[in-house]
Structure 1
């Protein structure tokens, strides 16, 4: 029987944002950031997943289209799965007319249509298998009025269903390819909180289409197999489609100079092209004594991330809050375009680096939290990161608010995951250690079940995250009482949104890099960048408080040392040894934990040959660990350091900046 081919898009050429159907020479309009790439046969059309789609009129359909069945055919390669159903061919007015042939949020092919039997209910089938990413597939959807609907993948049936009633076509509608006809909500919202913070958006195809055809007849399995083989079949599937493997940005200088610098980190072309920023968009801190990084990247909304030697990304979160007037969480995760999130380098020398990150606490609709009726100001946060060459930083967090004592969060232990990586790929099941100032250590395991409480050892104030890396994130906070009733820091396990059949840990992909208006989308697949959380510190003692602000401190970084060494670092910071001056022209201002430094001020300008003499009285309870001395009013650039009579070598034994 002669094939009744209605449309055939080969994508061999484009002109003035249009491409022609090879059967009728109808012109289809192309929108957004699309491009022609190498396909199964000649060229193919690559959709960027954010802006691009094709739309064509349906005037070439016969009036009787579908009365004897119809067949839809295409070659497809996916870069990621869509946030909801996305069409390969969409010619429908849900649920009354037409058909829908596309891919769902887990990579399964969907084929549904409308019938006269029930204008309020679609009928159809979803494929039994999912498509892998970055692989070519030949997909076919067949509707036969007698047999129903079937889906074929690479010549093999992958699902079928009977259909009751006569198919109802939609000749007045255009055909759409690569974009859902109407906005839709992303699937898998977090259900237990913030039901309003999950809004509809345009759903676009992230992938490549080639050799797309529509037939006004049902085609049998033999013909489908012949079509698959006719294109080269299994041999063609060996062709790698031009879709890059995606991973969070990689910085090449593994161990180099201790420095901070502006740059523009790349993710993948289609995502990168969305950003209206120049070459100084991001900030990287590089270390010269370990292969780790601290990165402030627009893809995380500048939320600072420590990056291990094997490129696992970790962050201690940010200020976050919730109000009855906002849609869900108010946090920098919601600032998808970095409208209110900014980072800058303040100090950058061989001895230390100071980075300032400022962000607003906003919901996904860009509404500020707790707006003051008089001033119009909402909640804002300043973070200053004072970073030293030993890979340890002070994180100084200041929340500015008209209601600073209302519920706010300051810390959550979050792992940021590249596409292709699940939480279990990156975290050991013995995932977390808590340590107190006595040196007691408690291991917490996720192997059997999620821990209910993180309440041991008593008075814990040190946390170590057991990633599958040599260098592991740590946190040290004050062990001082929070209040009369709260005598020590409070840690809590993050045990919500866990699907034990998928991962031992919670798993979401509404952040990073995603531009969807959602503050919570659970995921089962590693097709996109994603994140997981282990714990959060509910509260710990503040460093400073005013009527409109609260400042908290933490010491953080990455370590490859034994957990007990963290105790020495904690003691040196929280209980620093006494410094005793020996010179009258010096004023000792004390130890400032927000600088991790002793502060000495000169009451007269230091002359070239003047000496600064002091002793640090360390002991077991107050040890020395890479001490920092800040000399105020010191003009000399040629200082040298002598300890117990030994002249130390600059840049090797000590840093000056």
Structure 2
């Protein structure tokens, strides 16, 4: 712990060497186990929990560090305290100051707070005291309560105009004098003042809060107050050398101290990025369980093991697909994302509905309490992932809870992903009112800290195409695309069913809806703030922890998202208590002609004719799996069939499911020519209660008749 003499030495070049009334160096944090007797049903046992304490250097007052994560890291002088921005803070013994006083500290911000957040707060909640802190835009501020005994009690405050940069050491200092009023200093220089002739009225017998507001507020930039909770604001970053003086420091004393203690060493706050931003290439295709790291303070919030997330990775080399991913990450509430070869995240939304209390959607499930993901299949041929979630609001209340069953609305989504970076999304809504209003698709791009929408999206961010190959690109360059029309509905090109997002990447996310499903598109035309971004931009999700379904992004300091479009289309299937819709989606480096060919291969598939009907049946195409389904009767030695490929029924990387094939290996001939097992011919197996199915995927494009033979080998 730094002695008081060091403080005097640091101030010795100023006009007056002052001794602080309180000084937190954050050099030594003591960890102790506190044991509390616990009695439950007659059984006595100790309850052990961790207690982290620090001692104030002048009065030897005590402070307790609370929350999920804190860390001691190198500071400006000695060590600094890192707080996580979500839960951690210091509650310390009161500091006695009156008359004139000063409070200051070195800080380094990992992100701006969501509202006014204190470096030191004693204690706004009591209606008196002082506050030194940072607002949601990164401005320093200082306030004090004055004139209480005279009956003219009021808060006097001063806010700086310059934004404090992220991940840089900055000194903030507030000075109060009953004759001069308030003065705010940033890095030793005056950032402004506010006059008053009233006396300061301190808060008595209340703790000093370091890094946590004493009052609850809705985040600055809240879009829908009814769906956003009032919360405490927490400091995200480092605090060092917090000193409180029972007198007013002069400008030369403040400047002298900053000059003597300033460091050129960067703070221990690495830049943050979404997972997989620098993922390596050349991995094996398939789905894996893993735990994706974000940044240390955020990771420590999650009580998970090493299998918390699911990633589908690719091994094909064309168009950089081997650097792309399909990701189910707890930071996005398991809402799945296509991740391009250069780390741009995109999703097609989820099921969403609404009530007076806000949106019911998996975005509201900040801790994945109602959102779960599991791998159903992972082989060389394909990966199948099941995502189940409840449609809940920010108060964990489900939509349309049935009074008889007690069940509200749930969704099952099944993703079947193939090695070419293309898959199907089958969405099933379970509800007592499945035909009530819901969203089924919204084109959403996710950014990491440091990324703005303009960095990941082209101004002409959305291209729609139809089955004739006609296209239209919608641009946000001059505001909401003018073609959006009333309520955002768009009609160009006529009959559009192909949706491509123009990300700044080689691979671009696409969505295809069957033209027979009558898709209707609209542009996201609300909540646009041109002074901030040409695109709508929010940061209440992903990775956020507080209850909110709408907060405007103030800067690129948090993970954030932008939305471009909505779609609705006819159901693929429905029952009294469910509705199912299907789409094709993935990543493409192709041109409109390629999109149309792919769409035709899925929505107008080539007819399959069995040439060996004795041992097999079926042959129908299942668009939910992007695969033809064949049933084996017994275990014949070979299976032969043809696909009637044509210009109108093209073949585009076909897949086949042969049920009850067994786990026998297989060889392939196409049009009588052997094709070795490898990247162009892949297969795997799916075990079930009644047998083992064969899954085959071919890298093959054709517009003519194709003859296929699968020959069983021996185990």
Q: Same fold (TM over 0.5)?
A: yes
Q: How far off its partner does 1:394 sit?
A: 0.3
The 8 Å contact of residues 96 and 115 in structure 1, kept in 2 or not, is answered as: no
Listed one character per residue, the Cα deviations across residues 333-384 of structure 1 (whole Å, up to 9, x for unaligned) are 1111111100001111111111000000000110010000100010000000
Which residue does 1:315 correspond to in 2? Answer: 347
The 3-state SS of whatever aligns with 1:408 is coil
Which residue does 1:484 correspond to in 2? Answer: none
Which residue does 2:687 correspond to in 1? Answer: none
Which residue does 1:27 correspond to in 2? Answer: 62
Q: How far off its partner does 1:544 sit?
A: 0.5
The 8 Å contact of residues 95 and 120 in structure 1, kept in 2 or not, is answered as: no
Q: Which residue of 25, 34, 37 corresponds with 1:10? A: 25
The 8 Å contact of residues 446 and 562 in structure 2, kept in 1 or not, is answered as: yes
Q: Which residue of 278, 295, 313 corresponds with 1:286? A: 313
Q: Which residue of 337, 342, 346 corresponds with 2:367? A: 337
Q: How far off its partner does 1:284 sit?
A: 0.6
Which residue does 1:406 correspond to in 2? Answer: 436
Q: Which residue of 211, 216, 221 corresponds with 1:183? A: 216
- 2:195 is the counterpart of 1:157: no
The 8 Å contact of residues 605 and 635 in structure 1, kept in 2 or not, is answered as: no
Q: How does 1:36-51 map to 2 (within 5 A)?
A: 36-51=72-87
Distance in structure 2 (CA, Å) of the matches to 1:575 and 1:496: 36
When normalised by structure 2's length, the TM-score is 0.86
Q: Which residue of 261, 286, 290 corresponds with 1:263? A: 290
Distance in structure 2 (CA, Å) of the matches to 1:329 and 1:362: 8
Residues 8 and 652 of structure 1: CA distance in aligned 2, closer, same or farther (over 3 Å)? closer
- 2:561 is the counterpart of 1:531: yes
Deviates further, 6-15 or 342-351: 6-15
- 2:661 is the counterpart of 1:634: yes
Residues 410 and 121 of structure 1: CA distance in aligned 2, closer, same or farther (over 3 Å)? farther
Q: How far off its partner does 1:119 sit?
A: 5.7
The 3-state SS of whatever aligns with 1:395 is strand
Which residue does 1:485 correspond to in 2? Answer: none
The 3-state SS of whatever aligns with 1:122 is strand
Q: How does 1:500-519 map to 2 (within 5 A)?
A: 500-519=530-549
Uncovered stretches (5+) of structure 1, i.e. residues with no partner: 482-487
Listed one character per residue, the Cα deviations across residues 404-426 of structure 1 (whole Å, up to 9, x for unaligned) are 11001111111111001011111
The 3-state SS of whatever aligns with 2:593 is helix
Distance in structure 1 (CA, Å) of the matches to 2:93 and 2:672: 87
Residues 249 and 362 of structure 1: CA distance in aligned 2, closer, same or farther (over 3 Å)? same
Which residue does 1:80 correspond to in 2? Answer: 111
Q: How does 1:175-254 map to 2 (within 5 A)?
A: 175-191=208-224, 195-231=225-261, 233=262, 236=263, 238-250=264-276, 252-254=279-281
Q: How far off its partner does 1:226 sit?
A: 0.7
Distance in structure 2 (CA, Å) of the matches to 1:200 and 1:257: 46
Residues 185 and 615 of structure 1: CA distance in aligned 2, closer, same or farther (over 3 Å)? same
The 8 Å contact of residues 95 and 119 in structure 1, kept in 2 or not, is answered as: no
Distance in structure 1 (CA, Å) of the matches to 2:494 and 2:279: 42
The 3-state SS of whatever aligns with 1:196 is helix
Q: How far off its partner does 1:95 sit?
A: 7.5
Q: Which residue of 608, 616, 622 corresponds with 2:649? A: 622
Q: How far off its partner does 1:144 sit?
A: 2.3
The 3-state SS of whatever aligns with 2:121 is strand
Distance in structure 1 (CA, Å) of the matches to 2:254 and 2:130: 20
Which residue does 2:389 correspond to in 1? Answer: 359
Q: How far off its partner does 1:124 sit?
A: 0.7
The 8 Å contact of residues 136 and 554 in structure 2, kept in 1 or not, is answered as: no
The 3-state SS of whatever aligns with 1:89 is strand
- 2:570 is the counterpart of 1:570: no
Distance in structure 2 (CA, Å) of the matches to 1:239 and 1:38: 9
Distance in structure 1 (CA, Å) of the matches to 2:146 and 2:329: 50
Distance in structure 1 (CA, Å) of the matches to 2:29 and 2:461: 53
Which residue does 1:583 correspond to in 2? Answer: 612
Listed one character per residue, the Cα deviations across residues 37-58 of structure 1 (whole Å, up to 9, x for unaligned) are 1111111111122222222222
Q: How far off its partner does 1:164 sit?
A: 5.0
Distance in structure 1 (CA, Å) of the matches to 2:27 and 2:280: 42
Q: How far off its partner does 1:396 sit?
A: 0.4
Q: How far off its partner does 1:636 sit?
A: 5.6
Q: How far off its partner does 1:35 sit?
A: 2.3
- 2:578 is the counterpart of 1:549: yes
Which residue does 2:463 correspond to in 1? Answer: 433
Listed one character per residue, the Cα deviations across residues 186-230 of structure 1 (whole Å, up to 9, x for unaligned) are 111114xxx311111222111111111111222222111111111
Question: How many residue pairs end up in the alignment?
Answer: 633
Which residue does 2:177 correspond to in 1? Answer: 144
The 3-state SS of whatever aligns with 2:478 is coil
Q: How far off its partner does 1:20 sit?
A: 1.8
